[in-house]
A and B are shown apart, each in its own frame.
Chain A
Amino acid sequence: MELLLLIILIFMIVGSIIAIETKNLLSAVISVGVVGFCLSIAFLILGAPDIAITQVVVEILILVILIRATITTDNTAIERHWDTFSFISSLIFFGLFLVFAWLAVQELPRFGEPLLRVSSDYLETGPEKSGATNIVTGILLDFRAYDTIGEATVLFTSIVGAFVILRRRGRKHRKDMDREKVGILQDEDIKKDFRGF
């Protein structure tokens, strides 16, 4: 089990290296797809089928959105002179981060032995209290329903924001609106009306 997860994680790391370092944007997007689908397989192995299904659906949508962004645009590589100071400083910072991460990981509970302080209560009393056979949905919609409301709010806000940004035409000018309301025709409208004759 652990070996399989190790292989999948190494595959994910290789896929993300390709996604980060490749020159063509479309291949980078497809490599992100590789990482995401490997992630969904890892979720399936880790005993989380709900998240695996969600991850597959979301990954397909992410691919569609990102391919829409890259396929019609100019996706040539950006050649820039390399800033040595920022490269070295970021390398040092990330190295330090990894060292401290390695030290912190030693203090976590070992893999395969979770703490289950809150969740044991959910697991024992969840089916009776919420009536759901799937305990994850029981937590999502019953014990932690406020979180789900917050999620819906965030999702609504972000989608409304995307719509507003991508809207093709802004609001009409007040003068045009008044003119339409009164019914005064502009020159173009008159031309359009007489084009048929």
Chain B
Amino acid sequence: MILYFLALVLFVMGLYCLVAKKNIIKKIIGITITEYSINLFLILLGYRSGGVAPILLKGMPRSEIALHSVDPLPQALVLTSIVIGLGVLALMVAICLRLYEKYKTFDMSEINELRG
């Protein structure tokens, strides 16, 4: 219970950083923390107490992995999500560097003011 709640606390902190900070790099950091917390929450949901990793080792009977393994489905989907997060972060940083070249600042409000 408390582990789920702490993961959601991490989510709220990332959301706060995304909403309240003026610096664009800080906003990117907030998005990254939010992503981390959601990935952790999904993996926590699939954990079975005393569970082993869903990998069939040599000499291991197949019934054992069905009885003792952790949930493999969130793991596969989170693997996808982590890699997509990297691509999206690269795109965001590229846009930020372009904005910095144009306005010489990372400050969100100044960029807004310059729009006219």
Contact = CB atoms under 8 A, between A and B. Distances in A.
Given A13-B10, A20-B29, A111-B44, A166 B54 contact: no
Interface in A100-151: 101-102, 105-106, 108-114, 116, 118-120, 122-124, 126-127, 133-136, 139-140, 144, 147-148, 151
Contacts of A118: 73
Contacts, number: 250
Grouping DSSP codes into helix (H, G, I), strand (E, B) and loop, the B interface class, with mixed when no group exceeds half, is helix
B3 A9 contact: yes
Interface in B9-49: 9-10, 12-17, 19-23, 25-26, 28-30, 32-33, 36, 39-40, 43-49
Interface residues of A, number: 87
A2 B71 contact: no
A14 to B, nearest CB: 11
A122 B26 contact: no
Interface of B: 1-10, 12-17, 19-23, 25-26, 28-30, 32-33, 36, 39-40, 43-57, 62, 65-66, 69-73, 75-80, 82-91, 93-98, 100, 104-107, 109
Interface of A: 1-2, 5-6, 9-10, 12-13, 16-17, 19-20, 25, 28-29, 32, 35-36, 39, 42-43, 46-51, 54-55, 58, 61-62, 65-66, 68-70, 73-75, 78, 80, 86-87, 90, 94, 97-98, 101-102, 105-106, 108-114, 116, 118-120, 122-124, 126-127, 133-136, 139-140, 144, 147-148, 151, 154-155, 157-159, 161-162, 165-166
